Amino acid sequence: MRPRVWAPDAGAVELVLTDPDRRLALERAGDGWWAPPVGSADLEHGTDYAFAVDDAPPRPDPRSAWQPAGVHAASRVFDSGRFTWTDAGWRGRDVRESVVYELHVGTFTSGGTLDSAVERLDHLVDLGVDMVELMPVAAFDGERGWGYDGVALYAVHEAYGGPEALQRFVDAAHGRGLAVCLDVVYNHLGPSGNYLDTFGPYFTDRHETPWGRAVNLDGPGSTGVRRWICDNALHWLRDFHLDALRLDAVHALVDDSEVHVLAQLSDEVATLAAELGRPLSLIAESDQNDPATVSPTADGGKGMTAQWADDVHHAVHALVTGERHGYYADFGAPEVLARALTRVFVPDGGWSGFRDRPWGARVPAGMDGHRFVVFASDHDQVGNRALGDRPSARLDGGALAASAALVLVGPYTPMIFMGEEWGARTPWMYFTDHQDPELAAAVRRGRHDEFATHGWAELYPDQTVEGELDVPDPQSPSTFEASRLDWSEPARSAHARLLAWYRDLLALRRSTPDLATGDRAATTVRWDELAAWDDPTGASWVVVRRGGVHVAVNLSSVEQRVPVPGAGVAAVLAAWGPVRVEPDVVVVPARGVAVVGPGAAPAT
């Protein structure tokens, strides 16, 4: 490798080597870059190095691919071409043609590494998953964390196995027909080990984010910063054979440039996809409810392939749980569920009670529903609860089965959060491993203060003392350990039943054209308008029609005769509980679900 570094305002830059201990003065190479003199030898794989700018202490390479001794130590040269790939026949997979499975490497298995995660890939194949989405693996300070405090964005966290382990994981996934998506964070960096200020104007005071200083996307020197972001994305897709990237909280990428950085990234990734001859997807997380995020750049949009649609989660969760605190205040009624399952966003230009102002924009009628990734659980909606409790900790099997049916056979791209498919009872909590005592204390205080409001104490009366909620310590190793999946659970009867239900629904989605389509116009929702929906103990039925298929959900405690007009005497394609069919009626047991439609049920 020929070491180069972008430091546009530096007066001098040195390459610092540790074995043997020596320094080499770099020369200006244009556009703010510094490089070794012509004729200098390249650095071999495994060589440790750092850069010293204007006599400052040596710091890691902002584009380091390997930080084996942590984010404060020297970088190590990683030659990505050394790996022997076996996926030459892999033709890729678009996220819009996928069922996605989100996992956190550190808690997915007892080993907590990418190599140990490979051992569970066959479970995902059997489940019916098409794309594995890894939560961030960019190197961060400490051993444990969600990954959203990464500071070495080109490197793979050493506790997960380092960069070659990611190559092994992707290669193994492709060998099983699974695409791989990586969660990346460009809107902020973590608080410890971030040395980018040493090198250049990576940050700006022009804008703010909820997590710290904003990345400089539109001020002086932003061209190099934008290049650092776009090159990072191309690095993962090209050198690690990834199929997709999930971009965290893109609404915090504040950019007043003529061309938004997301549009630039979209066009560059499209060019790379053409060169590689396989689809490459960009999936945005955004809270703006704006279809421009997934509109083509040629039409003035940001060009993302797909985006997360949290409102579908909120609508399903609030309906089946009865929770109305915080942002769930805008959700819970069946008509809101109907809007989410047909129009994507709630609100979509109308009034948001939670935000106390109009919010969002209407999704064009012809826009493919598969551009929106939806879920019954994800890392945020579980981990950002006070106790990290999953829906399975509060809901019975029927409610879990109903949530799965509403998400998995709807008109959107479905995503499953690790363990959801068997109703995992292990929590998934917020955990950190900050080495700075002051930072650790601040995180503890912040976590406690966050849940002092929004009705959390009322939700957890057993964990509340004198009005104070006992929030798990994010710094405690026990909080992390308790969040690991228990892989003995799927063999237990109740868990095995739910797992079989997920498999049946995904097989049905794959085999039934009316369920595979993203045509939102072919989706309608009806509900029992006589039921007292404001009282979840008396909730009744909902029917989602997808072309010629009806999904009937009975959330009540008694059997329901659910009308399915136009179905005739339908076939039962999948059922949670004993289901009967009559002309234009499906009889669904208490806390039961029925998927009915023409033709015989597929073999499972």
DSSP state of 550: E
Beta strands in 56-211 (DSSP E): 75-76, 100-103, 131-134, 138-139, 152-156, 179-184, 203-209
* Residue 72 is labelled as binding a ligand: no
* Alpha-carbon gap, residue 583 to 16, rounded angstroms: 79
* Residue 250 is labelled as binding a ligand: yes
* Residue 381 is labelled as binding a ligand: yes
* Residue 313 is labelled as binding a ligand: yes
* Residue 379 is labelled as binding a ligand: yes
Helix, strand, or coil (residue 402): helix
Closest by CA to 316, choosing from 291, 287, 346, is 346
- Of the residues 141, 158, 285, 504, only one is catalytic, namely 285
**285 is a catalytic site residue:** yes
* Residue 311 is labelled as binding a ligand: yes
* Residue 104 is labelled as binding a ligand: no
* Residue 382 is labelled as binding a ligand: yes
- Of the residues 133, 248, 255, 504, only one is catalytic, namely 248
* Residue 503 is labelled as binding a ligand: no
The C-alpha angle with vertex 513 and arms to 512 and 514, in degrees rounded to 5, equals 95
> What's the Cα-to-Cα distance from 56 to each of 11, 65, 577, rounded to whole Å?
11, 22, 68
Residues 6+ apart with CB under 8 A from 265: 229, 230, 233, 282, 303
* Residue 269 is labelled as binding a ligand: no
Direct distance between the N- and C-terminal alpha carbons of the chain, in angstroms, rounded to an integer: 52
* Residue 341 is labelled as binding a ligand: no
Beta strands in 270-366 (DSSP E): 281-284, 306-308, 351-352, 357-358
Closest by CA to 193, choosing from 136, 154, 141, 137, is 141
Residues 6+ apart with CB under 8 A from 467: 457
* Residue 325 is labelled as binding a ligand: no
The tokens describing 135, both together, are 């939560």
**248 is a catalytic site residue:** yes
Sign of CA dihedral 136, 142, 143, 144: negative
* Residue 99 is labelled as binding a ligand: no
Residues catalogued as catalytic: 248, 285
Q: Which residues participate in the annotated binding site for substrate?
A: 246-251, 310-314, 379-384
Q: Which residues participate in the annotated binding site?
A: 246-251, 310-314, 379-384
